[in-house]
Chain A
């Protein structure tokens, strides 16, 4: 058999790829029969509730569980972050940290048990003012977070006897002095939480010394290692299942300490255990994204091309004290000379975890706003400033792609018709309108993935792969690739995912899944098809090279009329199913997948200048993603990301009490999110010129979630002629900014 040449079919031959296909599990999900981890209930299970620490920073001196143990229905109490009877105090650095877990016959008993646990706290000073650099410094809460300087080579080098830093300062000063336009600004974006609709958690039980876990996870294939490591067993003794997951966004890669606790409680009690976080615990401890606040000075030439950038930014990632990664500053744009520094702030909050496109949305929002303020200062069109500055970006080869995307987006949002210089639009009642832009990038490299494919003699096709469907449509994409390769329909192939007993596939994070699973499924399918074609070739007495699998048949391309149905072909396999195991290793160059995409978003907003309310009228996203597998789910992905951007731009915010540090809005009644009426008209354009399409599959999870906030902030600034510096742009902040501007 010849080497299999892995590639996608030619465009005109594609029957499934690139089409609009409904999610295979869409009905189960919308009808409520899909079983999420939260829906898994095992016979005789115990329900666990955690007791969250009500203080942001304290020492837990002692925990008395005697009254809780007496509550009828309470079966077992497990210490998490709590001292045992003779232990030293345990320091708690975040509101909501789970201290003990109470396992009971039902939820009410567990909750009552939790309320009866007596804890002695010693309060410590809490600090959560992450926006306030001065106060953080005064409180010893800062940590250097990197930075550096790069100067245009044309500026030469310091002389041998010159102090390097002094020279740099001089050069920077000179660059600003000779700039035609200088903008100084402050911008910020607050911490938000992942706020997964399905909270984190697991249902576990031990069967013959093996741990069976139903986990709400983005990482089916590796979560077993997490359990095994913590429980001192081996990964082969852990099976993890996740058929459906209600949101992860980067926060569900680990079993987490409550997942491990479930396993430990189950071991001690000999009963299945279900441990899901409550809503406020979900918001407090299960994931948040770092804040970023920046002071920027930039200098531009007469055309508005930025030549020099100088910034200091700070923010918090919780008690480990980091902020938005400095390497992304300024975002996408890369002037020839720039200096950037970052300071992390240690706050009494849970450490952040990856949030859809880690660092990018924040970096975009605190830097491309400064570029827009340059347009405002010059009184020129923001679109022109974005276009002109494409001459200095960190991925120069993408400049034409961005230019084309900006042109398309401008057309879709009717830019030329609606544009007015900042603050110069006409007022209708108290309302002004504005337009804004953001651009973004993402790698989207395919992760490693393995696929076991079985073809049965009766024509049945099934695949096994330890990936997971985050709701993005992974199942559907796998089926489309198999159906495409074998010339079958979607219901003739069966895709099995969501179990750690299946061949390894990488975690779904960083937009790596669609590349991963299409690599492994296409490879497996091509490998298997080659074997089937060999059998058919022999039987039909033709060369395998001229056989195609199409329309449920294997057909010879030589006009001989020789063909056979898929079923007949498979009957040649014999009694044992044909099995192939195919792999893709991350980083392997492949015609099937690629990396690095560009995208842009534009927003058209209306702002009530008397109330500070912002309304999205329209948002446009133009996004490159290489070869599109399922057009429908690709679009859904972008719609969802735009809605998340609106949420972060206008509503979402972790609010820490300034005095006690507690997270006061951790219930959904207080953690504001947009509703349908806040979304406006969303327009998605999948940017798929042959040049991008030919590169193969690239992930789409993160990119559309990046620049929307920036576009909205810039649009609000365009409407008002005043920058509302910090995102989310709440009515209070809009009014405050207008008042400050009035003086």
Chain B
């Protein structure tokens, strides 16, 4: 790791002033679970690291007068999970519960999770996000890469596990920069697909800080997420889907379907969501939504299986949101306790 300057501002304005300084390459340090490992591998070599943990106001989760929930950028995944707020955010709750490491839950932040960098192994070994305009991925091992939104150079997948769930809940982010300048973006608009070297996977410019994620009141909106994982560890899921659904007497009035781990951005499955409207929620409509969600998919040499996985993830997320059985391993009853089970003690 390269030596760097460490700053610990107390206010939002101090922070953005430190980040905006053109003479230095500065980065935000939240929980550091992602950032530090990238620095250790010299993929990111900042001159200055700005820790936002002590900035007043960013440690809190609050509800405003409209019932929206504001999560500060220093709030850990665990505090968010343990707060009463996630009970109304089933999809987000399911995702955080699925983080198979207490250390990550305790140390990682919600906003940091939304902004963590892609896991693409070409990116993480120093070839940049586009890895030779996508050639390295196309000719290389792309089993975990994009099947959607991958027709140009970018082939990596957005790594955030929470983003689909929070997008499906209609979340916004609050972004500030020096000079009391603030803007609000729909969470999905925080992400972009880079097409030239030097661009990143989000729209933040130098000096900008995400201070909060704001999640509007969900009322009786249904939601669920379904991640297909290879094992129960903290590894990236192979694919995921999150849905938010407004239904009336069993008929869908409005729906959002967001896919994770399949495209350089959290992927809005617009068609699939639109076609759910007016339909009842059942195995058949869920299956159709899955098929429509991947209609435009273009597999690379080694990731065609992700198309099927995505269909299944969407189907199961819809079923789960509707409170129906989704038929996967997690629905299996535990093995009956045979007379022998457990270690045999002598």
Contact = CB atoms under 8 A, between A and B. Distances in A.
A651 B346 contact: no
A622 to B, nearest CB: 10
A673 B234 CA distance: 10
A234 interface: no
B224 interface: no
B338 A414 contact: yes
A672 B329 contact: no
B186 interface: no
Interface in A121-178: none
Contacts of B233: 672-675, 678
A613 B124 CA distance: 26
Contact of A635 (B125, B230, B341, B343): B343
Interface residues of A, number: 60
B332 interface: yes
Interface string B312-337: 10000000000001111101100100
B235 interface: yes
Contact of A429 (B42, B325, B335, B338): B325
A567 to B, nearest CB: 34
A670 interface: yes
A115 interface: yes
Given A112-B3, A612-B305, A665-B121, A677 B342 contact: no
Contacts of B309: 611-612, 731, 735
Contact of A686 (B100, B119, B141, B346): B346
Nearest to B122: A664
A618 interface: yes
B328 A430 contact: yes
A630 interface: no
A276 to B, nearest CB: 14
A431 B332 contact: yes
A20 interface: yes
Interface string A646-683: 00001100011111101011010110111111101111
Contacts of B327: 428-431, 610
A736 interface: yes
Given A430-B328, A608-B329, A683 B231 contact: no
Contact of B141 (A431, A608, A615, A658): A658
Given A606-B329, A658-B140, A670-B119, A115 B42 contact: yes
Contact of A664 (B37, B100, B140): B140
Contact of A658 (B122, B139, B344): B139
A731 B232 contact: no
B11 interface: no
B320 to A, nearest CB: 12
Nearest to B303: A732
B228 A611 contact: yes
A114 to B, nearest CB: 9
Interface in B70-107: 100
A267 interface: no
A685 interface: yes
B139 A429 contact: no
Given A611-B228, A611-B328, A112 B2 contact: yes
A429 B331 contact: yes
Nearest to A731: B230
B341 A657 contact: no
Contact of A669 (B119, B305, B312): B119
A489 interface: no
A678 B3 contact: no
A659 B139 contact: yes
B203 interface: no
B25 interface: no
Interface string B1-14: 11100000000000
A684 interface: yes
B344 A685 contact: yes
A111 interface: yes
A680 B346 CA distance: 21
B230 A608 contact: no
B231 A606 contact: no
A669 to B, nearest CB: 7
Interface string A629-642: 00100010001000
A108 interface: yes
A108 B2 contact: yes
A501 interface: no
Contacts of B183: none
A657 B138 CA distance: 11
A617 interface: yes
Contacts of B229: 613
B299 to A, nearest CB: 11
B331 A618 contact: no
Contact of B305 (A660, A675, A736): A736
Contact of A682 (B119, B231, B343): B343
Contacts of B328: 429-431, 608, 610-611, 613
A108 B331 contact: no
A732 B305 contact: yes
B230 A672 contact: yes
A535 interface: no
Given A613-B230, A732-B143, A683 B340 contact: yes
A657 B233 CA distance: 24
A145 B136 CA distance: 34
A412 interface: yes
B305 A664 contact: no
A650 B329 CA distance: 15
Nearest to B335: A617
A545 interface: no
Contacts of B341: 618, 681, 683
Specify which of A610, A611, A677, A735 lies most central, judged by the most chain B CB atoms within 10 Å of its CB.
A611
A39 interface: no
Interface string A426-443: 001111000000000000
Nearest to B327: A429
B140 A429 contact: no
B238 A731 contact: yes
A111 B344 CA distance: 49
A411 interface: yes
A655 B141 CA distance: 8
A685 B342 CA distance: 11
A59 interface: no
A730 interface: yes
B308 interface: yes
B103 to A, nearest CB: 13
A657 B127 CA distance: 14
A20 B344 CA distance: 12
B342 A613 contact: no
Contacts of A731: 228, 230, 238, 305, 309
Given A115-B2, A674-B231, A429 B326 contact: yes
B329 A613 contact: yes
Nearest to A427: B327
B235 A669 contact: yes
A153 to B, nearest CB: 44
Contacts of A684: 343-344
B104 to A, nearest CB: 12
A451 to B, nearest CB: 29
Contacts of A732: 143, 302, 305
Nearest to B346: A631
6 contacts: A20-B345, A613-B228, A656-B141, A658-B139, A664-B140, A735-B308
Interface of A: 20, 54, 107-108, 111-112, 115, 411-412, 414, 428-431, 604, 606, 608, 610-613, 615, 617-618, 631, 635, 639, 650-651, 655-660, 662, 664-665, 667, 669-670, 672-678, 680-686, 730-732, 735-736
What are the 9 closest A-B residue pairs judged by CB atoms, nearest first? Answer: A429-B327, A677-B232, A675-B233, A659-B139, A732-B305, A664-B121, A430-B327, A657-B140, A610-B312
Given A664-B125, A674-B233, 18 more contacts: A428-B327, A429-B325, A431-B328, A431-B331, A606-B329, A608-B329, A610-B327, A611-B312, A631-B346, A659-B136, A669-B235, A673-B231, A675-B100, A675-B234, A683-B344, A685-B344, A731-B230, A731-B305
